[in-house]
A and B are shown apart, each in its own frame.
Chain A
Amino acid sequence: MPATLSLKDLHKRYGEVEVVAGLNLELAPGTCHGLLGPNGAGKTTTLRLALGLIEADAGSIELLGHALPGEASAARTRVGVVPQADSLDPDFTVRENLLVFGRYFGLARREIEAQLPALLEFAGLAGKADTRIEALSGGMKRRLALARALVNDPDVIFLDEPTTGLDPQARHLIWQGLRRLTAQGKTLLLTTHFMEEAERLCDRISIIDHGRLIAEGAPRELIAAHVEAHVVEIDGEDATTWCDKLAERYCRRCERVGETLFCYTAEPQALIAALEGMPHLRYLHRPANLEDVFLKLTGRDLRD
């Protein structure tokens, strides 16, 4: 099956900065694909290029068999978008938001009305059809934004940080919704800052930084390929001095962040035994996760 979205050697420059610098990306049909990267890595620009909203300086974009940006309008009839900023219409009720948005896709009022109950049920907003937007909680608004993106029954859905700012309950509800969509065969492209979210939801992940792809694979593959299987985080007053002396003996790689020590190792037993003898140090032993990969590949420096 041809890729749902294919970006080839994509370049986009703003003044001096090349925000997208030779990016390649293939979105396999029916998968959830995560696009991860620090702030300013080029995620949102990539999404906007992939929607045909802006023109690339070089490279090619194909979305659902349409060459972009030339055929963007035709391609977007089959696409749903959950934008980063809530852009729901505050003047409207929940129902009116969906009706008005469906019309932008050329749908007749009847057609939209017919699928309203299913959309509201999906978003957990049944019974809220006539509620005004300002009366909705943050989580409800995000779910409505998700329902709105489904009003045209799209084949592919772009989600730009869909759970930012939500509490865990609300986040889990969104996750359930996204799982139902992939189960229905929809293709998802998801950007997020939550590694846990990406690890749980995504079949495949692309990590980008400075506009380039720096790693790609299934979450488990990425973890296996880039970091040791175990992580021991050590905290305490002389954790760092201890690191200088002994860490190398017990673990393959060791990182200091402030007063905390991150020890990466394939075999943690000896390290843990040694730590047991040092009650003034607190430690946490856990399996390596996607965040470790992300921080290793993109560094711990703050980006704004």
Chain B
Amino acid sequence: MLNLRFLPVWQRNFLVWKKLAIPSLLGNLADPMLYMLGLGYGLGRLLPDIGGVPYLNFLAAGTVCYSVMNSATFETLYSAFSRMHVQKTWAAILNTPLGLHDVLLGEWIWAASKSLLSGIAILIVIWGLGLQADFFMSLGLLPVIVLTGLCFAGLGLAINAISPNYDFFLYYFTLAITPMVLLGGVFYPPSELPDWLKVAADWLPLTHAIALARPLVLGHLPHDMLWHAFILAAYGVAGFWAAFVFTRRRLLR
């Protein structure tokens, strides 16, 4: 299974993306930027510093993770569903020597690549505004972005595999993505939550992504680094595995 046969699948998606690269990047950038700048400046002015930093600086890391999550999720839900279900692209590829694991691996790494671009775009804004405490420390965000992208791409592919239509994705957004955005620590430290909600937030992968990203922006090493990385990897791998099982049941039976 460890070979480069997934690469043509990745290349296919890249070739499509290249045609619409500019609007796609702008789209990826606009939404998180508006959150970060609108809330950071607007709300930030009314708030005291959090842990000694202005609200905008606090918000920066959350915005990176939120943007990466969104990008990986949209790619593996709507875009992947079009390829799998509407355009029958996957079925066509399965008639070639490639197997389902090659297709899914290509899609997984593609979605992570695309979300890496989204993350880097936000990171450039952060650097531009000088929101990071230490430039070299903030480079540590890159592996966090990759891991977060793989995590949410894996989960997204699993949801894609069991989805009967586009409308189904709304459940995932309502039941998983929105709670993560609101409880995972994008807008405030999860330590502010009551205990019972904190327990819930601890189960959410976005919480762990932000637990890694925020200290790196604010200039210190995260606590329990390996634990957070492990949680993200575990969600991603479990999602990918579920995606494989359910997509096989869907397409190859």
Is A92 on the interface with B (CB-CB < 8 A)? yes
**B98 and A104 form a contact (CB under 8 A):** yes
Per the 8 Å Cβ criterion, residues 36-60 of A in contact with B are 51, 53-54
Range of interface residues on A (Cβ < 8 Å): 20 to 34
Measured CA separation A249–B9 after assembly (Å): 67
Chain A nearest Cβ from B17, distance in angstroms: 9
Range of interface residues on B (Cβ < 8 Å): 20 to 34
User: Pick the contact of B91 from A83, A91, A96 — CB < 8 Å?
Assistant: A83
Is B99 on the interface with A (CB-CB < 8 A)? yes
> Chain A: interface secondary structure?
loop
What are 7 sample pairs from A and B whose C-beta atoms fall under 8 A apart? A83-B92, A85-B88, A87-B87, A87-B88, A101-B92, A104-B98, A106-B8
**A54 and B96 form a contact (CB under 8 A):** no
Chain A residues within an 8 Å CB radius of B96 = 76, 101, 104-105, 152
Chain A residues within an 8 Å CB radius of B12 = 89, 100, 103
**A100 and B15 form a contact (CB under 8 A):** yes
Q: Which 8 A-B pairs have the closest CB atoms?
A: A87-B88, A87-B92, A104-B96, A81-B95, A103-B8, A91-B16, A73-B97, A76-B97
Chain B residues within an 8 Å CB radius of A295 = none
**A92 and B253 form a contact (CB under 8 A):** no
Known: A53-B94, A76-B95. Contact between A104 and B8, CB under 8 A? yes
Instruction: Provide the A74-92 mask, 1 if CB < 8 A to any CB of B, else 0.
Output: 1011010101011111111
Measured CA separation A303–B6 after assembly (Å): 40
Is B252 on the interface with A (CB-CB < 8 A)? yes
Chain B residues within an 8 Å CB radius of A96 = 15
**B92 and A74 form a contact (CB under 8 A):** no
Chain A residues within an 8 Å CB radius of B95 = 51, 53, 76, 79, 81, 83
Is B11 on the interface with A (CB-CB < 8 A)? yes
